[in-house]
Structure 1
Amino acid sequence: MTMDHAELTTEQVLRRDIPWETYMTTKLITGTGLQLLRRYDKKAENYKAQLLDDDGPSYIRVFVSILRDIFKEETVEYVLALIDEMLTANPKRARLFHDKSLASEDTYEPFLRLLWKGNWFIQEKSCKILSLLVSARPKVHDGFTTNGETSDSKKKVTTIDDVLKGLVEWLCAQLKKPYHPSRGIPTAINCLATLLREPLVRSSFVQVDGVKLLVPLISPASTQQSMQLLYETCLCVWLLSYYEPALEYLATSRALPRLVEVVKGSTKEKVVRVVVLTVRNLLHKGNFGAQMVDLGLPQIVQSLKAQAWSDEDLLEALNQLEEGLKDNIKKLSSFDKYKQEVLLGHLDWSPMHKDPIFWRENITTFEENDFQILRVLITILDTANDPRTLAVACFDLSQFIQHHPAGRVIVTDLKAKDRVMKLMNHENGEVTKNALLCIQRLFLGAKYASFLQV
C-alpha cells in the first residue's frame, strides 16, 4: 500500500471531479442515479441535509450500487468519502441504510468486501461506516437480523453475523500487525469500543484470543493522542468485564497490574473513572480481589478518594471499591494477610508474627514463587525506614530460620546475613534486639532456639 493513499483525507478526496455521465453511458449507473448524484454532489452541507431528510434511502441505494458495481479506486474512495461526510455530520443517518425500502439491497456487502480489498483509506472508511451501520440496525427480539432480505432464496445475503465476524477479524489483524503505522491500532480500538457492546462481538473477540491483544495497550499515557487510545482501550476492557468467558483471559494476563498502574498515575478523570468501574466489576470475580490487595489497591483507592473529582459515579464507585476490598481482606487466610503486610512493606506486631502455630502451618507456603515473600522480607531490611517494620522483619526471619528445615541455608543463600548485621548497630533498641536474635539463630541453629525466644 502506498503511503499517499494512507494519508488521504475525506476533504482531499471530495475535491475530485467524478465523471458520473460516463458511468451512465456505460450503464454502470442508471438515469435516476445520475439525476440524484447531480442534485447532491458538490452542494452545500445544509442543502445535502435537506435532500437526505426528504429522500435519504434513495441516496443510500445509489451509493451502495456504485460501491457494488464500480471498481475504479478513485470513485470508490469518493463515494466512501461522501458516506463518511454524511455520517460524521449526523451519525443517526446510519439508520437510513436499514430503511424498509432497501430490504432487497445487500447494503453490508460492499463495505465488508472493501474492508480487505482496498488501500488504507478505503479500509479505514469501510470499517468506520460498518461499525456505525451495525450500531444503528433495528434490534430484533431474538438478537438476529439480516439486512437485505430477499425473496430469492438462492441469493447469498450478508447477515449481521457475517459482518460482525468479518469486522472482528479485521480489527484483530490491525492489533497484531497494523496496516497503517500510526492509525491502524487507534482505528481498531475506536471501533471495538463501540462494537464490544454487541454480545456476538464479545464472543467472537474472545474466541480469536483478542483479549491479549488489548493488554499491551493498557499503559500510562503522556500525549493527548495516547490518552484517547488508553481511554478507549480501557473502555473495551470495561465492556469485556461484563462477559464471563473474557474473565479468565483477563485473569491470566497482565491486565489487572496494568490497570492498577494506569489508575495510580492518571490525572484524567475519564480514564480513572473507566478503570475504577472495571476494577469494581472484577472485584468479586475469581481471584481478582486477592490480586487487587496484592497490588496495593486499597492504598491507591484511599489516595484517589482524597482527590477532587467532579463525577458522582466515580466517587460512588470508589466507595464501593473501598468497601469491597475491606471485605476481601477480612476473608483472606492468615497467610494471605501476612503476605499483604509484607508486600505493602508496613509490618507491625500483629498476633500472627509471634504465633508458633502460624509458622508451623504456613512454613512451606513461604516456598511459593521461589521464596517470593521471604525475598521481599529481606529487601525490607534495606529499604524500610520505620523501626517497627525493621524489628518485625528481623523477628520474622528468625522465625523462618527456626521453623523451616533448611531455614539457615536458604536465608544465608539469599544474602540476608550482612543486612541483619548492619541493623545490630541501629539506634532503635527494638531493632537491635531482634537483629541480634536473628543473627544468633543464623549462627547457632534451631537447637538453641528455646533459649533465645523473645
Structure 2
Amino acid sequence: MDQAELNTEQVLKRDIPWETYMTTKLISGTCLQLLRRYDNRPESYRAQLLDDDGPAYVRVFVSILRYIFKEDTVEYVLALIDEMLTANPKRARLFHDKSLANEDTYEPFLRLLWKGNWFIQEKSCKILGLIVSARPRSQNGIVANGEASNSKQKLISIDDVLKGLVEWLCAQLKNPSHPSRGVPTAINSLATLLKEPVVRSSFVQADGVKLLVPLISPASTQQSIQLLYETCLCVWLLSYYEPAIEYLATSRTLPRLIEVAKSSTKEKVVRVVVLTLKNLLSKGTLGAQMVDLQVPQVVQSLKAQAWSDEDLLEVLNQLEEGLKESIKKLSSFDKYKQEVLLGHLDWSPMHKDPIFWRENITHFEENDFQILRVLITILDTSSDPRALAVACFDLSQFIQHHPAGRIIVTDLKAKERVMKLMNHESAEVTKNALLCIQRLFLGAKYASFLQA
C-alpha cells in the first residue's frame, strides 16, 4: 500500500514482534511487560494504564523510536501515540513529567520529520506540535521536557526544536512531501505554533510569510475553506509581530484578505480576516492602503449581512470606527500619494480640485519627483483606461500649477508616453492625453514667442 495513504487504524492492526526486539536487546524486559499490558487492548483499558503510569509508557514509546528503525515498527508506535493524544490531547503533558527530565522526548520526532515516509512525517509533525504546546512554562526560561535550565544532561533546546519544526513546515509549503496533504498539514501546524514568539521570528527569518500569500484566495470546497481559514489565522497571528507586518505591508496580502472578506460566506473566515485588518489598521501606511482599497465600503456591505456571530458584528464596528479615524488623520496629499503608489487611480474629488493642486504642488518635488515618476510609469504599464486617463489629467494639472511644470515633465520624458495615448481606443484617455499635450506645447510656443 502507498505509505501516504496509510491510516492509524490500518497500522494498528499489525502484529509487532516485541519479544524479538527484547531478545536482540533493543528493548528491555520491563519495556516488554509494559507493551504486553498495553498492546491490542480496548481503549478504556489503555486509558486506565495511562492514568496510572503514563510517563512510563511515554518512556517506552520514545525509547523504541530512538533505537528501532524498522519502518513498520516506527509507524506502529507513532500510531499508538497519535491514538493516545487524539483521545485526550492533555496527555501531551505526560512527555514533560519530571521522571522524564533526562529523556530527550523531542529528538526522535524532530529526526523523523526528515527521515520517514509521509505517514511518519505527518504523525511526527502532529505529535511534536502537541508536545511542544503542552510544555511547562518557566519564568527562568522554557527548556526541553520541563527540566530546569541548569540541567547537567545535554538536551535539545526548545528553541532548536521550534526552529527545526519551522524549517520542515516551510519546506512543505515550498515542496510538499504529499501532493494533497503536505500543505494543509503544514498550515494546520503553523496555525497553532505561530502563537510562539520564537516561531514567529523563525518563520519570518525563513521567508515564510510570502509562502502564505498565494493561499489567501476565495475557497469553494470544505477542505479548501478550512485551509483558507487556517492560513488567515496564521496571518492574524503574524499581525502581532512587527517584522512580519513589514512584509505584509509591501506584498499582495492586503488586497487578497479584502477579496476573501468580500466573497466568503463562512463566518469564521470573515471574522479572522476582519480581526487581522483591525490589527493592521494602525501600522505604517496600511490604514491609508485600506482606505484606497475601499475597505470602508466593504465593512458597510459586511455589516448589512445577517451574521449570527455577535463578536463579528462587534469587530466590524471597531474596524469601521478605526477606518474613520484613519481617514481623519490622512491629509489629502497622503490619500493622493497612496492612490498613485497603489496604481488605483480614479476620479476622486482631489484630482479636479484647484485648491488641492495649489496647496500641495510642492509635495510633488519630494523624493526626486517620485509621484510624477510613478504617474509616468502608469502610462507605460497600466491597461486600465480610467487609470491612464487620470494619470494624463494629473500630469496636465502639475504642468499648470508648478512654475517649472512643463520643463520637469519634459525632462522626465513624459511627452512621448502621453502622445502614444492620443490614439487610444478609450475616448476618456484620448481626451486627457490631448489636454496634457496641449499644456506642454502651449508652454513651448509661449517660450518661442518670448525668445522672438
Asked if these proteins are the same fold (TM beyond 0.5), I'd say yes
Amino acid in the other structure paired with 1:147: N
Cα 1:239/1:142, change in 2 over 3 Å: farther
- Helix, strand or coil for the counterpart of 1:147? helix
CA distance in 1, matches of 2:379, 2:149: 72
Structure 2 counterpart of 1:174: 172
Given that 2:187 and 2:231 are in contact with CA atoms closer than 8 Å, whether structure 1 keeps it comes out as: yes
Structure 1 counterpart of 2:449: none
- Helix, strand or coil for the counterpart of 2:2? helix
- Helix, strand or coil for the counterpart of 1:172? helix
Instruction: Give, in angstroms, the shift of residue 352 of structure 1.
Output: 2.9
Structure 1 counterpart of 2:195: 197
Which of 49, 60, 63 is residue 62 of structure 1 equivalent to? 60
Cα 1:255/1:349, change in 2 over 3 Å: closer
Structure 2 counterpart of 1:158: 156
Deviation per CA, 1:266-295: give whole Å up to 9, x if none: 121111111111111111112211121222
Amino acid in the other structure paired with 2:172: Q
Given that 2:113 and 2:120 are in contact with CA atoms closer than 8 Å, whether structure 1 keeps it comes out as: yes
Which of 371, 382, 385 is residue 379 of structure 1 equivalent to? 385
Amino acid in the other structure paired with 1:379: P
CA distance in 1, matches of 2:228, 2:272: 10
Cα 1:56/1:213, change in 2 over 3 Å: same
Alignment of 1:81-120 (within 5 A): 81-120=79-118
Amino acid in the other structure paired with 2:204: V
Given that 2:378 and 2:391 are in contact with CA atoms closer than 8 Å, whether structure 1 keeps it comes out as: no
Amino acid in the other structure paired with 1:352: D
1:369 paired to 2:374: yes
Structure 1 counterpart of 2:31: 33
Deviation per CA, 1:74-113: give whole Å up to 9, x if none: 0010000000011111111111111122223221121122
Alignment of 1:205-220 (within 5 A): 205-220=203-218
Given that 2:399 and 2:440 are in contact with CA atoms closer than 8 Å, whether structure 1 keeps it comes out as: yes
Structure 1 counterpart of 2:11: 13
Instruction: Give, in angstroms, the shift of residue 195 of structure 1.
Output: 0.7
Structure 2 counterpart of 1:282: 280
CA RMSD of aligned residues (A): 3.5
76-85 or 300-309: bigger deviation: 300-309
Given that 2:93 and 2:134 are in contact with CA atoms closer than 8 Å, whether structure 1 keeps it comes out as: yes
CA distance in 2, matches of 1:88, 1:289: 42
- Helix, strand or coil for the counterpart of 2:139? coil
Structure 2 counterpart of 1:126: 124
Deviation per CA, 1:203-253: give whole Å up to 9, x if none: 121222222222222222222111111111111111111112222222232
Structure 2 counterpart of 1:42: 40
Structure 2 counterpart of 1:141: 139
Amino acid in the other structure paired with 1:361: T
CA distance in 2, matches of 1:118, 1:224: 29
Given that 2:3 and 2:119 are in contact with CA atoms closer than 8 Å, whether structure 1 keeps it comes out as: yes
- Helix, strand or coil for the counterpart of 1:405? helix
Given that 1:420 and 1:438 are in contact with CA atoms closer than 8 Å, whether structure 2 keeps it comes out as: no
- Helix, strand or coil for the counterpart of 1:54? helix
Amino acid in the other structure paired with 2:98: K
Deviation per CA, 1:104-160: give whole Å up to 9, x if none: 322112112212211111111111101000001111113422227499977531222
Cα 1:338/1:9, change in 2 over 3 Å: same
- Helix, strand or coil for the counterpart of 2:145? coil
Amino acid in the other structure paired with 1:321: L
Alignment of 1:335-346 (within 5 A): 335-338=333-336, 343=344, 345=346
Instruction: Give, in angstroms, the shift of residue 176 of structure 1.
Output: 1.8
CA distance in 2, matches of 1:152, 1:324: 48
Structure 1 residues without counterparts, runs of 5 or longer = 383-389, 425-431, 449-454
Amino acid in the other structure paired with 2:374: N
Instruction: Give, in angstroms, the shift of residue 61 of structure 1.
Output: 1.5
CA distance in 1, matches of 2:71, 2:425: 74
Cα 1:419/1:446, change in 2 over 3 Å: farther
> TM-score, structure 1 length as denominator?
0.83
CA distance in 1, matches of 2:302, 2:130: 36
Amino acid in the other structure paired with 2:358: I
Cα 1:374/1:306, change in 2 over 3 Å: farther
Matched positions, count: 432
Amino acid in the other structure paired with 2:311: D
Given that 1:411 and 1:417 are in contact with CA atoms closer than 8 Å, whether structure 2 keeps it comes out as: no
Structure 2 residues without counterparts, runs of 5 or longer = 447-452
CA distance in 1, matches of 2:357, 2:243: 43
CA distance in 2, matches of 1:399, 1:125: 64
Given that 1:104 and 1:150 are in contact with CA atoms closer than 8 Å, whether structure 2 keeps it comes out as: no
Amino acid in the other structure paired with 1:229: L
- Helix, strand or coil for the counterpart of 1:107? coil
Structure 1 counterpart of 2:450: none
CA distance in 1, matches of 2:230, 2:286: 22
Which of 75, 78, 88 is residue 77 of structure 1 equivalent to? 75
Cα 1:423/1:33, change in 2 over 3 Å: closer
Given that 1:148 and 1:157 are in contact with CA atoms closer than 8 Å, whether structure 2 keeps it comes out as: no
Amino acid in the other structure paired with 2:372: E
Amino acid in the other structure paired with 1:371: I
- Helix, strand or coil for the counterpart of 2:298? helix
> TM-score, structure 2 length as denominator?
0.83
Cα 1:242/1:150, change in 2 over 3 Å: closer
CA distance in 1, matches of 2:235, 2:363: 36
Cα 1:399/1:243, change in 2 over 3 Å: closer
Cα 1:164/1:359, change in 2 over 3 Å: closer
CA distance in 2, matches of 1:209, 1:156: 30
Amino acid in the other structure paired with 1:13: V
